[in-house]
Amino acid sequence: MAVTGVLQSALGCSTPVQAQPAGRRCGVHQIHTFHGLHRHSVVGQQVVSLSSFKCGLQRCRAQRACRARAVSTFAQAGTKYDYDLVIIGCGVGGHGAALHAVECGLKVAIVEGHDIGGTCVNRGCVPSKALLAASGRVRELKNAMHLKSMGIQVGSVSFERQPIADHANQLASTIASNLKRSLEAIGVDILIGAGKLTGPHTIKYSLPGRVDVGGTVTAKDIMIATGSVPFVPPGIPIDGKTVFTSDHALKLEWIPKWIAIIGSGYIGLEFSDVYTALGSEVTFIEAMDNLMPGFDKEVARIAQRVLINPRPIDWHTGVLATKVTPGVPGVKPVLIELTDFKTKEVVDTLEVDACLVATGRAPYTHGLNLAAVDAEVDRRGFVPVNEKMQVLDKSGKVVPNLYCIGDANGKYMLAHAASAQGISAVENICGRSHVLNHASVPAACFTHPEVSFVGPTEEQARETAQKEGWADKLAVVKTSFKANSKALAEKEGEGMAKMIYRKDTGEIIGVHIIGLHAADLIHEASNAVATRQTVQDIKFNVHAHPTLSEVLDELFKGAHVEKQTRANIKPEAAKVPVAA
């Protein structure tokens, strides 16, 4: 068979693969519009002369990607699979994995059954942050006392619900399109349909009622990235109008006068911020004894003082919402039966205008047919994986060439965690052993002010230290936003940062922040945990003045470590010239 014929069959192409003249440049247009054509010409060039392959794109991801693809397709000429990697699910996890895989030279397809961008882009992070941004602005402008303290007076502040809802909706569409384009630009094939495994290297994809889409593809490696959906406890019917989950709430179809929020985790807190800014009264219903049970206790106490008490919010803790009866907006209230979490006795019935169910998320792993590789989901529906994101079978052994990342494996249900796991899995696929340190993954709740953290809560850290016999070495240091010049200039002195560390070694274990821009501030700490920077090192970092990041500077400088040796001192660093 001629060289072009070998490549044609290796790529599964219907068009003959032509060898291109050496030195021909690939154009932006080809990449963006006809990536299939681009692939052929790259392969052609690869055959003629590897060194003569050039890309018209300068210093961009697509350039690196097309170089990588040239290597990949060349290397694959003799393989028997359609792709090196097929990812099932195009949320942020699948997207992050696909970008990295292409950069590593893999030929990639992504199977998507519903909407590109998944939860985060369409029903999660992105629209919720748009609502928080708009409602946060309303809250700020309505806070006459705060503005007056800086000499500002505004007249009456009004807003329109629909344009705020449109802002969230349009932002989601824009980001989803950007995400799709970013995949197409680097030659990732997007296969529309719900994917299921039919063998160790085979995926069938289809859409119910659509005979025109679907097919079967093979891949050397497969990655499951199918995400999650809202978890709704039994006894709670969702009508999407008066009783709803975040999926509906993000559309902001109406602003109830009084809304009960079941669950005081991330979603409950962020929506309490949105609704109270837009004029609703909120009642939290929380199963645990305290609000925000998943957060550091001290942070939750401050949050209660800053985010809950000054707002029209009340709460019932230690109770489960066991039965909810939907209402009719403006006509019939929603009824919520509350049951004591410990005694299991019905203790109250609430009548409210609406009810948001924010009781966690359930993995969406339905229909994946893991049985095809002798694996199964756990009792909560998560796909079991090891620390390299490799799927484990029923007996706990690694299923070769199968990975699962993101919300579907339940390790850490955050967008950036999903993406980081995807990148980690790709590294393992490429033979470079990699384990993501989940203790270094930051988290943030985007209330006003924000809450953020990395690592365990102080309570969890103390428990671990006790078990492992280093409780006397655990130390905690705190700083306040009240002493920070920038926060005071903004008249936003409410807030605290605390670091949990080992005073014998200087190891940073966790950092928790509540205060202005806490979500941005956490990264210095999370990166320090990731790179194992110690307190002794980090306290020499220099922070611009006056900035909020000095809250952390003060935190690091306030820590006392027994061992004063600095580990990361590089003498030559001092010789690097500094820009004037």
Ligand X SMILES: NC(=O)c1ccc[n+]([C@@H]2O[C@H](COP(=O)([O-])OP(=O)(O)OC[C@H]3O[C@@H](n4cnc5c(N)ncnc54)[C@H](O)[C@@H]3O)[C@@H](O)[C@H]2O)c1
Binding residues for FAD: 129, 195, 226-228, 407, 413-416
Q: Which CB atom, from 361 or from 512, has the smaller least distance to ligand X?
A: 361
Q: Which CB atom, from 195 or from 495, has the smaller least distance to ligand FAD?
A: 195
Please give the angle made by the CA atoms of 131, 132 and 135, to the nearest 5 degrees. 80
DSSP 226: -
Residues 512-551 that bind ligand FAD (CB under 6 A): none
The size of the interface with ligand FAD (CB under 6 A), counted in residues, is 39
Annotated binding site: 129, 195, 226-228, 263-270, 286, 360, 407, 413-416
Q: Which CB atom, from 55 or from 454, has the smaller least distance to ligand FAD?
A: 454
SS3 294: coil
SS3 558: coil
Q: Are 132 and 270 in contact (CB under 8 A)?
A: yes
Torsion of the alpha carbons at 247, 249, 250 and 254, rounded to the nearest 10: 140
Residues 257-276 that bind ligand FAD (CB under 6 A): 267
| Total residues found in the chain within this entry | 580
* Residue 358 binds which of ligand X, ligand FAD, none (CB < 5-8 A, kind-dependent): ligand X
Q: Which CB atom, from 204 or from 416, has the smaller least distance to ligand X?
A: 416
Q: Name the minimum Å distance from CB 23 to ligand FAD.
A: 40
Q: Amino acid identity, residue 577?
A: P
Of 280, 350, 357, 345, nearest in space to 318 by CA: 345
User: Mask 250-289, x = binds ligand X (CB under 6 A)?
Assistant: ------------xxxxxxx-x--------------xxxx-
* Residue 407 binds which of ligand FAD, ligand X, none (CB < 5-8 A, kind-dependent): ligand FAD
Q: Which CB atom, from 187 or from 263, has the smaller least distance to ligand FAD?
A: 263
Question: Residue number with the shortest CB distance to ligand X?
Answer: 265
Q: What distance in Å separates the CA atoms of residue 55 and residue 360, rounded to the nearest whole number?
A: 46
SS3 166: helix
Q: Which of 29, 438, 545, 560 is catalytic?
A: 545
* Residue 294 binds which of ligand FAD, ligand X, none (CB < 5-8 A, kind-dependent): ligand X
Q: What distance in Å separates the CA atoms of residue 382 and residue 329, rounded to the nearest whole number?
A: 36
Of 299, 342, 345, nearest in space to 513 by CA: 299
Q: Amino acid identity, residue 321?
A: A
Q: Name the minimum Å distance from CB 195 to ligand FAD.
A: 4
Strands (E), 287-333: 313-317, 319-325
Residues 80-119 that bind ligand FAD (CB under 6 A): 88-94, 111-115, 118-119
Residues 407-446 that bind ligand X (CB under 6 A): 413-414, 443-446
Q: Name the minimum Å distance from CB 453 to ligand X.
A: 11
Q: Rule CB under 6 A: is residue 442 a binding residue for ligand FAD?
A: no
Dihedrals phi, psi of 20, to nearest 5 degrees: -95, 155
Q: Rule CB under 6 A: is residue 403 a binding residue for ligand X?
A: no
Q: What is the DSSP string of 52-111?
A: T-EESS-SSHHHHHHHHHHHHHHHHTT--SSEEEEEE--SHHHHHHHHHHHHTT--EEEE
| CB proximity list for 49: less than 8 A, separation 6 or greater | 22, 23
Q: What is the DSSP string of 465-519?
A: HHHHT-GGGEEEEEEEGGG-HHHHHTT----EEEEEEETTT-BEEEEEEEETTHH
User: Mask 62-81, x = binds ligand FAD (CB under 6 A)?
Assistant: --------------------
Residues 200-239 that bind ligand FAD (CB under 6 A): 225-228
Active site residue 545: yes
Q: Name the minimum Å distance from CB 122 to ligand FAD.
A: 8
Of 354, 345, 295, nearest in space to 319 by CA: 345
How far is residue 175 from each of residues 267, 348, 407, 533, measured CA to CA in Å? Answer: 21, 43, 20, 34
Q: Name the minimum Å distance from CB 265 to ligand X.
A: 2
Q: Counting Cβ atoms within 10 Å, is residue 444 exposed (0-12), middle (13-18) or buried (19+)?
A: buried
Which tokens is 348 given? 């109250």
Using the contact rule CB under 6 A, the part of the chain among 156-164, 180-188, 233-241, 414-422 near ligand FAD is: 414-422
| CB proximity list for 166: less than 8 A, separation 6 or greater | none
Dihedrals phi, psi of 395, to nearest 5 degrees: -95, 10
Q: Name the minimum Å distance from CB 415 to ligand FAD.
A: 3
Q: Counting Cβ atoms within 10 Å, is residue 569 exposed (0-12), middle (13-18) or buried (19+)?
A: exposed
Binding test (CB under 6 A) with ligand FAD, winner from 244, 258, 295, 364: 364
Residues 354-393 that bind ligand X (CB under 6 A): 358-361
Residues 295-324 that bind ligand X (CB under 6 A): 320-321
Of 173, 181, 175, 191, nearest in space to 28 by CA: 181
Q: Name the minimum Å distance from CB 197 to ligand X.
A: 26
Q: Rule CB under 6 A: is residue 124 a binding residue for ligand FAD?
A: yes
* Residue 416 binds which of ligand FAD, ligand X, none (CB < 5-8 A, kind-dependent): ligand FAD
Q: Name the minimum Å distance from CB 439 to ligand FAD.
A: 16
Q: Which residues bind ligand X (CB under 6 A)?
A: 233, 262-268, 270, 285-288, 293-294, 320-321, 358-361, 413-414, 443-446
Q: State the catalytic residues.
A: 545
Q: Which residues bind ligand FAD (CB under 6 A)?
A: 88-94, 111-115, 118-120, 123-125, 128, 194-195, 225-228, 246, 267, 364, 367-368, 406-408, 413-416, 418, 446
